[in-house]
Amino acid sequence: MALDDRTLRYYSAVCESGSIRSAADQLALAPSAVSRTIAALERHLRTTLLERTARGVRPTEAGELLLRFAKDRAHLEELLTENLDELHRLRRGRVRVAAGEGFMDDLVEHGLNDFLTTYPGVSVEVTTGGTDTIRDLLLSDDVDLALALHPTPHRELTVVQQAPQPLHVICAPDHPLAELTSVTPGQLDGRAATVLPERFGLRTLTDQVQRTYGVLLDIRLVSNSMHAMVGFVLAGLGITLLPRFAVGRHLAHERLRAIPLTEAESDRVHAQLLTRTGRPPSYIASRLLEHCAQHLDSLNPQ
């Protein structure tokens, strides 16, 4: 029995739906036909691929390996088709990107605008989220590349490019800290502030600063929306801790100030452009990777 496309499609459908019956409905087949295919596949590979749970079925460890193989094989077929199209000068395709919300202005202004003009047949899908969400999307092959700040290192993630992005105190021009040339962690104690939720890498850094230096921010707003956080600061309600690039547009128009945070070891913070290790990017994804690496301010600080 060969690992043909039909067999892998049936198996992937079962894993993604969590049950043989649901997969059969999606495939417009009888459940018995799907079940027989899975049983034959297990005999061929001499291993158990699925295990039953209270909620249906899920892949075993061997099953997870086969599911990754199926995804990689499907991706390689797409890659071949796209590269053949490129040989015929049919510049079209789709790229899926995951990025922290703080990257969005930079990504759109310095990345996507020129890229989409150069490749009018290409579409780009952008998903925003916390650092953990971005990592999981990349590991599950739901996106082709990712932009993240201070992600936890992972052996299945490849850093294509990175650049230091130290934390700054972001405040309104009339805030008491606005005229300082630098801010020590001790000067943050008791300051009204807005922060990201706990699943974000920047929130982890903010909490580390508070623990290390024994300071306590007066957290007035917790939000996963950078727009809401910036609005809080613009209104003069308090401060936040972010890299400069996350509010670059507001700094350019002098609506906000960014003051370096000293003694906080924030120089180890890096913006990173990531791909999943072992998954070759498509032709068009490679072009977007190169474009972002060359032109994004977050990856090429002045």
DSSP string, 2-48: ---HHHHHHHHHHHHHSSHHHHHHHHTS-HHHHHHHHHHHHHHHTS-
What pLDDT does residue 89 have?
Answer: 58
* pTM score over 0.85: no
* Higher local confidence (pLDDT), 171 or 267: 171
Cβ neighbours of residue 170 closer than 8 Å, sequence gap 6 or more: 233, 239, 240, 241, 242, 246, 247, 256, 257, 258
Per-residue pLDDT band for 279 (boundaries 50, 70, 90) equals confident
Among candidate residues 169, 138, 158, the one with its CA nearest the CA of residue 278:
158
pLDDT one-digit tens code per residue, 98-115: 999 889 999 999 999 999
b/e burial code for range 7-44 (CB count within 10 A of at least 16 → b): bbebbbbbbebebbebbbeebebeeeebbebbeebbee
Residue 215's pLDDT is what?
Answer: 95
Per-residue confidence (pLDDT) for residue 177, from 0 to 100: 96
CATH of domain 168-268: 3.40.190.290
Overall average pLDDT of the 129-150 stretch: 92
Q: Do domains 5-69 and 91-163+270-299 have the same CATH topology?
A: no
The number of helices, as runs of H, and strands, as runs of E, in the chain is 11, 12
**Res 291 pLDDT > 80:** yes
Q: Residue 236 gets which letter from DSSP? A: T
pLDDT in tens, 158-170: 999 999 988 999 9
Residue 136 confidence (pLDDT) above 90: yes
Which amino acid is residue 16, in one-letter code?
Answer: E
- Which of helix, strand or coil describes residue 196? coil
Q: At what angle do helices 131-139 and 201-213 cross, to 10 degrees?
A: 140
Average pLDDT (53-82) is 86
| pLDDT of amino acid 302 | 63
Residue 127 sits at φ, ψ, to 5 deg, of -120, 135
Looking at residue 266, its pLDDT comes to: 56
- Mean pLDDT score, 206-230: 94
Per-residue confidence (pLDDT) for residue 91, from 0 to 100: 67
Please provide the average confidence, as pLDDT, over all residues in the chain.
89
Type of residue at 151: P
Q: In CATH terms, is domain 91-163+270-299 a member of 3.90.220.20?
A: no
The pLDDT assigned to 56 comes to 86
pLDDT of residue 267: 58
Alpha-carbon distance of 276 to 273, in angstroms, equals 11
Determine the topology of domain 5-69 in CATH: Arc Repressor Mutant, subunit A (1.10.10)
Average pLDDT (13-38) is: 89
| Whether the predicted pLDDT of 265 surpasses 70 | no
Per-residue pLDDT at 78: 81
For the chain, the structural domain boundaries read: 5-69, 91-163+270-299, 168-268
- pLDDT above 80: residue 22: yes
pLDDT confidence of residue 251: 93
Are 241 and 167 in contact by the 8 Å Cβ rule? The answer is yes
At 204 the pLDDT is 87
- Predicted confidence at residue 73, as pLDDT, reads 85
pLDDT band at 52 (very low <50, low <70, confident <90, very high): confident
CA–CA separation, 230 vs 187, rounded Å?
Answer: 21
